[in-house]
Amino acid sequence: MILNPNEEHKQLAVENHKFLIELDPLFLNDIAKSINVYNYDIQFANAIQKNPQITQWVRFVSEYLHTENIDGSLELFLDHSLVQLAILLIKNTVGIHAQTLNISSFNAISPLIYKTMEAMMEHYQHQWTLDEMSSISHLSKYQFAHLFKEITGMSPYSWLQIYRIIRSQEDLKHTNKTILEIALDCGFSSASVYNQLFKRLYGETPGSFRKKLKK
């Protein structure tokens, strides 16, 4: 789970240990600029996000902290690890900064799901049905939907809608298209559906986001 600064949330009691990391927004912004990703403040989408590389990083750091003795090397280890995490977050998560979805790490987990992701990204304007998605993976609709959600944390249709949002962000930043034109060009059924999803992810409308960039 990724939370933006000043985002209201509650911490639930858990039986096992919690693994929480707080990153300074300025630190994230500096990393993004240093790798030429984004020149504005980083803002992550309000959505479930599962990525194999980030999961692997969390597992590695968590195991290290529980097995190694706390000594002078720990601070150095964490400093370098947090830079790694920042890069992984910027390159692999959904947010205002994203230009696409990095799906390469999913290929090792499930080549069938990866192949379907590729097809959906290539033809994101198409009005996909679950039958069409599952046929690419050669799985039944139930098997495909279950496996897709297990791997990505969201349904195939939700994942596709989020990819469409990411594609729309580039139009908002770099074109003078109307909101309706962007919505339809990116595969949304209407400007209303597009506006609602964008606001749910980022807390503001596409029009508001565009105005903020031009200030």
**pLDDT for 137-187, tens place per residue?**
999 999 999 999 999 999 999 999 999 999 999 999 999 999 999 999 999
Evaluate if residue 39 carries a pLDDT over 60.
yes
Evaluate if residue 194 carries a pLDDT over 60.
yes
Evaluate if residue 40 carries a pLDDT over 90.
no
What's this model's pTM, rounded to 2 decimal places? 0.82
Side-chain half-sphere exposure of 119, counting CA atoms within 13 A? 16
Percent residues over pLDDT 90 in the chain: 48
Cα angle, residue 180 at apex, residues 127 and 200 outer, rounded to 5°: 75
pLDDT (mean) for 95-100: 86
* Backbone φ and ψ of 95, nearest 5°: -170, 175
More confident residue, 132 or 89: 132
pLDDT value at residue 37: 66
Ordered structural domains, the chain, with CATH: 1-98 (no CATH), 102-215 (1.10.10.60)
* Backbone φ and ψ of 180, nearest 5°: -65, -45
Closest CA to 99 of 3, 163, 156, 180: 163
pLDDT digits (tens, 9 = 90+) for 12-28: 666 666 677 788 888 88
Whether the CB-CB separation of 129 and 167 falls below 8 Å is answered with: no
Q: How many CB atoms lie within 10 A of CB 89?
A: 22
pLDDT digits (tens, 9 = 90+) for 100-131: 889 998 999 999 999 999 999 999 999 999 99
pLDDT value at residue 163: 96
Cα angle, residue 41 at apex, residues 106 and 92 outer, rounded to 5°: 5
Instruction: Look at the alpha carbons of 32, 37, 41, 43 in this order and tell me if their dihedral is positive or negative.
Output: negative
Closest CA to 124 of 172, 166, 182, 186: 186
Whether the CB-CB separation of 160 and 128 falls below 8 Å is answered with: yes
More confident residue, 48 or 131: 131
pLDDT value at residue 67: 75
Helices (H), the chain: 25-34, 52-67, 73-92, 106-109, 111-122, 130-137, 141-152, 156-174, 179-185, 191-202, 206-214
Distances (CA, A) of 109 to 106, 148, 166: 5, 11, 23
pLDDT value at residue 124: 97
pLDDT value at residue 47: 83
pLDDT value at residue 28: 84
